[in-house]
Chains A and B, each alone.
Chain A
């Protein structure tokens, strides 16, 4: 078991009160697993990922524990987490452009990064060049400034840098969202390649795009309004979704193949509840066509079939 998250609760402090962006989340990720974390904007997927590496000033850890390879991560303690960052837990941010220091050449940037972790740049250089070649970049990029690289190249540089110390857990936040379709495919396949070559043990891919996850993820976790709604193997989530939210979300995605005049797709009416003061019971209740009296009670996130979890009274029954 590479990563185990137990009843994690993280909130944002705002002037109006605490916003429970991640509200009691429990899951595990196995060694070598690529887990996709999917959900719409504001569902808490980025907050969940951020809390695994660094809580920013507005965020507060309320309860729950996170263990990586059996060691508990001190996620509430910013300085104690430093030991784990980059070595054990690493992040690929959404915009590679803003991740690279524009005033440093890539090589110098890497050497500073490694020195901050007590690793000698010269020692890592052969491996760094080997990995750059693997993603189709020549060693020349080390002598270039970020501005001299294209968006796809920058994204690949960032991928190589974040995985240079072979972290146990890699978090890729909306990695492909800002890229063109052709680059998107190449970058997504690179994530799988990195896993296959053992550069990273397990990966969390955060995205709103379920179709991308269908291509690269082993398991998919679906979030809604700060809670997990469904988790299971990627193929079963995509082809046999059980939670009404997952079903309706998948039903609203236009695919190459669907056409307006032949098969009209439907969206989900309404909008997610405010997390400032979330309603009691199931949070999808207001938008759910299967809603019944029992939904006023929060359904537990249970395993209804081996390997498949969902939080819905209709599924568990």
Chain B
């Protein structure tokens, strides 16, 4: 459904934009309908940049992004609006996505005129009810409230509900549960799983490996703007081939296992392995070759 091929994004820095920094380089992967692909990386790995490129909030420098048979990088005007009717994003901080002065359900009304102008009031209400219920919100408790009267989980679900009111094919979820409390974040995650089983494609961007493992079908591990490992989530987590992936997995604190210590404090920064081109090690499992 969505396919990225050789996507590179450079930002200009320095005086007069003389220097160029590649935020992501040569990224290729695809998302199929009903599939959750998690994009896992540490800060500065370029995971959010990829989300922005997919949503066309930023333009690619090189490479192509195709959605169905559309070239996303060339869309503008009416065609871009049509694209946004099927691809939407939800972001990290639910509290800053709302204007505290207005009631929270105003975010739903914002999409009515540009995207759903033909609906009658009854159709609109019905559509709103269905989509609120699909994210586990009771319309009576969340409509007509101000943002501060709702919890972070409710606000985040309201934003997902808004995306669902459109004829949504792909959701870009950028760290959507990082700001939520432990007891409520799993409910939001389960909603993504339910939506995916009904055919929605999800690009799940996270820094948390356990969340990615819990929810996604395929995993892309990023480091400094490059893909180091890509494959079915099960395979990547049970048989990590790249040293960086293994290091990440070893560092995740777990409840049923203790860290294996041994690495001395002085060498706590991971060594910088070179990231070569991707090599297919088994069916659908790609690993960046390590220069040794």
Identify the A interface with B (CB < 8 A): 40-41, 133-136, 152, 180-186, 188-190, 193, 208-212, 214-215, 238, 248-250, 252-261, 264-268, 271
Contact = CB atoms under 8 A, between A and B. Distances in A.
Contacts of A182: 42, 247-248, 251, 268-270
Contacts of A248: 183
B16 interface: no
Contacts of B189: 254, 260
Nearest to B234: A259
B112 interface: no
Contact of A186 (B181, B209, B265): B265
Interface of B: 42-43, 151, 181-187, 189-190, 193, 207, 209-211, 213-215, 233, 237, 247-256, 258-259, 261, 263, 265-270
B258 A215 contact: yes
Given A136-B265, A255-B214, 16 more contacts: A40-B181, A135-B266, A136-B266, A136-B269, A182-B251, A182-B269, A183-B268, A185-B259, A186-B263, A214-B255, A215-B259, A249-B182, A254-B211, A256-B209, A261-B193, A267-B184
Contacts of B215: 254, 260
A152 B268 CA distance: 10
Contacts of B181: 40-41, 208
Interface of B is mostly: helix
A280 to B, nearest CB: 23
Contact of B252 (A181, A259, A264): A181
A256 B265 contact: no
A253 B255 contact: yes
12 contacts: A136-B267, A152-B269, A182-B247, A215-B258, A248-B183, A254-B214, A257-B213, A259-B214, A260-B189, A265-B186, A265-B190, A267-B186
Given A180-B43, A182-B42, A210-B255, A266 B265 contact: no
A124 to B, nearest CB: 21
B247 A256 contact: no
Contact of B186 (A135, A210, A266, A271): A266
Closest 8 CB pairs of A and B: A186-B268, A254-B214, A268-B183, A211-B253, A180-B42, A267-B187, A136-B266, A185-B251
A249 B210 contact: no
B255 A189 contact: no
A18 B67 CA distance: 55
A214 B253 CA distance: 8
Nearest to B187: A267
A181 to B, nearest CB: 4
